[in-house]
Structures are given as C-alpha cells and as structure tokens.
Amino acid sequence: MNKIIRKTTLILTFFTATSCSLFANELANSYGSEKEAKQMLERAIRIVDSNPTVAFAMMNVGQGGFHVKDLYPFCFDKKGVMVAHPTLAGTDMSNFVSSDGVKVAQVMLRKAEKNKLSKISYYLNRTISSSDGLPIISKKESKKTSFYKKVGNYTCAIGFHPS
C-alpha cells in the first residue's frame, strides 16, 4: 500500500511540475521578444515606405502579421496623432506622459531619424491579447521599451516588455 501511495505521489509530482513548466513556457511565449519587435517594425517600415495607406490599414486592424503575441507596430504623424494603432488610431498622443514621467511621443518625434533605429524606455500597463486577437490593456504596469524610426512624414514604433 505504501509503495502504491509513493508511486502515485511521485507521478502526481511529476505531472504537476511538468504542467507548471509548460504553463510558464506558454506564458513566456505569449510575449514578444526584442528580436521579434525589431523584425516586425522593420517590416512595417518597409510597407509604410511603399504605401502608407495600406500599411496603416493593416496595422489598425492587426492584419498581415501586425499583431503577434503582445507586439504591434504603431505610427503617428508630425503632430503626434496616431495614424496607425490597433485601439488608438486618431488619438493625439503629443501630450501623453507615462507613469514615470516620460513624454513618449514628444521624445520620439524630436529624436526620430530616418536611417537610425532609436530606443526609449518607460513604464506602461502591459498589453495582452484577447481571445479574438485584439489587444487589451492589463492592470499590471511594467517597463516597456520601444524602438522607433522616422519614415517619411511619420514616426513608426513598436514596444516590447523586456523580461
């Protein structure tokens, strides 16, 4: 009897540990990496360079691979108005200040260069994907790093949460 209990306990411990490990890996895989963010932004920039109207439409609805995990590119015009974003298109971001006091859009607009990928970090609530693939904002605040670049009359960016 003790042998059966020990064997059952061992099996349950193994399955619990395996399940926790798989869940942790799945959770980690649901967040985009720095490398994935850079790749998506470079792709978005090429399409904006080619046809801004099509690129912005794709970004606004998250089509064409422009919403993967918690990653999505966004662009704003010279005044800081979002022209491409899954939930904030048309929003004036020129006066947006992150919870740690960073004037994100103002910094990006001022420092963006055509041939240079720049980086800025600030604190923001993490974006997660809903079951239908649309981004929703969580209540958990964390450090976010965004890459950004000047593309014609626009500044395009993408953010990720470093682990």
Residue bearing the bigger pLDDT, 12 or 58: 58
Q: Confidence band (pLDDT; 50, 70, 90) for 72?
A: very high
Task: Please return the burial class of 74, using the count of CB atoms within 10 Å of its CB with bins 0-12, 13-18 and 19+.
Answer: buried
pLDDT score recorded for residue 125: 77
Q: Which of 1-10, 35-44, 68-77, 139-148 has the lowest mean pLDDT?
A: 1-10
pTM: 0.77
**Cβ count near 10 (within 10 Å):** 10
Query: Average pLDDT, whole number, for the chain?
Result: 82
